Amino acid sequence: MTDKNLNTAVSYYTSMRDKKFEEMATFFHPNIHFIGPLSVMDGKESVVEAAKNFAMFFKIAQSAKIFLLMIK
């Protein structure tokens, strides 16, 4: 994985942790189509709204640990 990709991932999760949803949205394509285990969403606004709901349960330390284990 390149440093650029790692930095992008860290920036994305940091913006989510800090509840900077406008910044987080800059990482999404305007016509994003998200398929998750519990829902399907179309469009940046829908995904950002879901992220706002998810953020209250989000723990950056645990997510970072999982992410770092994945790139080893």
Higher per-residue pLDDT: 44 or 69 = 44
Q: Where are the domains of the chain?
A: 3-71
Q: Which residue has the tokens 């998750």?
A: 36
Q: What is the mean pLDDT of residues 54-71?
A: 64
Q: How confident is the model at residue 1 (pLDDT cuts 50, 70, 90)?
A: low
pLDDT score for 43: 96
Q: 63: which 2 tokens? A: 């997510």
* pLDDT tens readout for residues 22-37: 999 999 999 999 998 8
- pTM: predicted TM-score of the whole model, two decimal places: 0.64
Q: How confident is the model at residue 17 (pLDDT cuts 50, 70, 90)?
A: confident
At the top level of CATH, which class does the domain 3-71 belong to?
alpha beta
